[in-house]
Amino acid sequence: MKRACVIGWPIKHSRSPLIHRAWLKHYGIDGSYDRQAVEPDHVETFLTSLESLGLVGCNVTVPHKEKAFEVADVKDAAACAVGAANTLWLENGALHATNTDTYGFMAYLTHKAPQWKPSDGHVVVLGAGGASRAILHGLLESGQSCIRLINRSAARANQVRTHFGAQIEVVPWSARNAAMTDAGLVINTTSVGMNGEGSPDVDLGLVADDAIVSDIVYTPLETAFLRAAKARELQTVDGLGMLLHQAVPAFETWFGVRPTVTDALYQTVADDIGRE
C-alpha cells in the first residue's frame, strides 16, 4: 500500500485528506492519505525520514513550506520560483520538491475563464507572500508581459520584483485604486477575507467591465471581495478550485494516476467548508 500525508502546524482544518481519499476510492487505489501534525522544530527530521516512515511523499502546508524547500535534495522550477514547496516525494532515494500552487491556480483560471488570454488588459495582483509568488510565476510563464503588484508593505513587493524582474510593476499601496484602471484580471492573494473577516481595501470601480476577479481565500467560498465583484457584474474565480487543482499533480506523482477534478468533488469540499 502506498501512503502519503499532509503535514502542518496546526493541521486539523486541512481539506487535503478529503480530496485525496475521494480519488483513492474513485480509482480503486490501494493507498492512504492522512493528516500529520508536525511541530516546526521537527519538520526536517520528519521530511528526511519519509522512507523509514513508510511514506511515498507528502504535502506540506503552513508554516512549513519554506523549510520543506530548504530540506529537499532536488527542487523543480516551480518550487524555485516560489522559494517554497508544497509537494514532496522520494525518487531514487532523493527527496524531490515542487510547488503545485502555480499549476492549481492556472488550471482553475483557464477552466473557469477560458476566454482569458495573457496580455488581455492589465493584470493586478494583491499581496506579495508565497501564494502571490506562485501565481506570478504562473502568469509570467503563460506569457503575461506586465503585472501590477500591490502590497501593503513596499519592501516585500520590491523583493518580489527583484526576484521576477521588470515585468513586475510595483504600485505603491496609496495608488492602489488608480492602478485598477482597465484591469482585465485582479487576483487577491492576501489572507484578507479569511473566515469572513474584512476585504482587501481596494475599489473595483475602475476595472474593465469584462474583468475577471479571483480570490485565493476559500473560507468562506464567497468572500466579501468576490461579492463586491459580483455586485459589479464581474466574472469571479473562487479559491476552492485552486485548492482542488493543486492536488492533481501531487496525487499523480505518488499514486500514478492523474485524477480529475469533478463538480461532485468540488461540491463535497464546498459542503465541508459550509459546515465550518
Residues serving a catalytic function are: 65
Q: How far is the CB of 128 from ligand ATR (least distance, A)?
A: 4
CB atoms within 10 A of CB 232: 14
Q: How far is the CB of 158 from ligand ATR (least distance, A)?
A: 11
Position 232 contacts ligand ATR (CB under 6 A): no
Position 72 contacts ligand ATR (CB under 6 A): no
In degrees and rounded to multiples of 5, residue 95 shows phi and psi of -90, 115
**CA–CA separation, 105 vs 29, rounded Å?**
26
Task: Give whichever of 127 and 241 is closer to ligand ATR, judged by the CB atom.
Answer: 127
Copy the grid coordinates of residue 115: 476566454
Position 152 contacts ligand ATR (CB under 6 A): yes
Q: How far is the CB of 220 from ligand ATR (least distance, A)?
A: 17
Position 99 contacts ligand ATR (CB under 6 A): no
Position 220 contacts ligand ATR (CB under 6 A): no
In degrees and rounded to multiples of 5, residue 208 shows phi and psi of -60, 150
Task: Give whichever of 104 and 130 is closer to ligand ATR, judged by the CB atom.
Answer: 130
Q: How many residues bind ligand ATR (CB under 6 A)?
A: 14
Q: How far is the CB of 205 from ligand ATR (least distance, A)?
A: 19
Q: Which of residues 77-96 bind ligand ATR (CB under 6 A)?
A: none
Position 128 contacts ligand ATR (CB under 6 A): yes
Taking contact as CB under 6 A, which single stretch among the options 42-50, 121-129, 161-169, 242-250 is the one that binds ligand ATR? 121-129
Determine the length of the chain: 276
Pick from 4, 63, 17, 8: nearest CA to 36: 8
**CA–CA separation, 137 vs 237, rounded Å?**
18
Among 8, 31, 57, 127, binds ligand ATR (CB under 6 A): 127
Sign of dihedral through CA atoms 259, 263, 268, 274? Answer: positive
Q: x/- string (CB under 6 A) for ligand ATR, residues 173-212?
A: ----------------xxxx--------------------
Q: How far is the CB of 25 from ligand ATR (least distance, A)?
A: 30
**Which residue's beta carbon is nearest to the bound ligand ATR?**
129
Residue bearing cell 482597465:
182
Q: Provide the binding-site residues for ligand ATR, judged by CB under 6 A.
A: 127-132, 151-153, 156, 189-192
